[in-house]
């Protein structure tokens, strides 16, 4: 009896254990299924994210390739432009150097001309001073000549006046001589003179 009881107890324990094992297995199976579903969902999400990442990676690679091509093109353009600008700058620099040499030579020539012009200006200043002295002397001589001409004019006026007075005196003397001669003739010819001749002689005397 004791053995049967133990066997029954063992079976009961086994049944309990089997039932517990089934419940545990069912629980773990459900948990595994749930976790598997979650993992599948997460895997799908991760795969979708991976696909999106791959797509973005492809786009980024394409964009990088385009950027690289554009950069290479720009670098080539910049290098070409740099070479052209460098050649242009070198040419311009050479031209500026040649121009500076010409300007320096022109400046030296202008300096020489300035010195020469300064010397000529000093000579002209001396010549102007000499001409000014000569002009002053000429003006003084002209003033003296004007004074002499005025004095000569005054003297000529006085001489003309004297000539006029002399002519008047000579005319008066001639008249006086004529009067004396007429009177002398009248005295000598008075008895023989006709009345008409006496009248003419009187008129002549009155005229002078």
CB atoms within 10 A of CB 208: 14
CB 166 within 8 A of CB 185: no
- Which are the contacts of 143, defined by CB distance < 8 A and separation ≥ 6? none
For the chain, what is the radius of gyration of the CA atoms? 78
Query: How many domains does the structure of the chain reveal?
Result: 1
Whole-angstrom distance, CA of residue 197 vs CA of residue 186 = 10
Q: What is the pLDDT of residue 193?
A: 45
Whole-angstrom distance, CA of residue 188 vs CA of residue 180 = 12
Highest mean pLDDT, choosing among 17-26, 38-47, 116-125: 116-125
In percent, the amount of the chain with pLDDT more than 70 equals 81
List Cα–Cα distances, 47 to 35, 38, 44, in angstroms.
17, 14, 5
**Mind listing the pLDDT tens digit for each residue in 142-190?**
888 888 888 888 888 888 888 888 888 778 877 777 777 766 766 655 4
Question: Which domain, by its residues, includes 151?
Answer: 2-207
Q: How far does Cα 82 stand from its chain's mean position?
A: 33
**Mind listing the pLDDT tens digit for each residue in 10-30?**
666 677 777 777 788 788 878
* Residue 156: both structure tokens together: 């000529």
For the chain, the distance separating the N- and C-terminal CA atoms, rounded to the nearest angstrom, is: 230
Could you tell me the pLDDT band of residue 111, with boundaries at 50, 70 and 90? confident
| Residue labelled with tokens 């460098």 | 86
Whole-angstrom distance, CA of residue 198 vs CA of residue 191 = 10
Whole-angstrom distance, CA of residue 96 vs CA of residue 90 = 10
CB 208 within 8 A of CB 178: yes
pTM, two decimals, is 0.33
């Amino acid at each position: 009896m004791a053995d049967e009881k133990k066997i029954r107890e063992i079976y009961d324990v086994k049944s309990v254990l089997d039932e517990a094992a089934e419940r545990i297995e069912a629980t773990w199976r459900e948990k595994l299924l749930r976790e598997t579903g979650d993992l599948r969902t997460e895997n799908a999400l991760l795969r979708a994210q991976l696909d999106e990442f791959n797509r973005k990676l492809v786009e980024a690679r394409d964009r990088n390739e385009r950027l690289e091509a554009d950069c290479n093109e720009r670098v080539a353009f910049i290098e070409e432009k740099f070479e052209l600008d460098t050649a242009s700058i070198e040419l311009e620099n050479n031209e500026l150097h040649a121009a500076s040499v010409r300007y320096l030579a022109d400046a030296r020539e202008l300096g020489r001309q300035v010195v020469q012009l300064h010397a000529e200006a000093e000579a002209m200043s001396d010549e102007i001073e000499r001409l000014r002295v000569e002009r002053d002397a000429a003006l003084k001589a002209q003033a003296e000549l004007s004074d002499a001409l005025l004095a000569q004019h005054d003297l000529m006026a006085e001489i003309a006046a004297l000539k006029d007075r002399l002519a008047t005196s000579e005319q008066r003397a001639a008249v006086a001589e004529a009067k004396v001669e007429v009177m002398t003739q009248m005295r000598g010819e008075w008895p023989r003179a006709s009345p008409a001749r006496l009248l003419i002689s009187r008129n002549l005397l009155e005229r002078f």
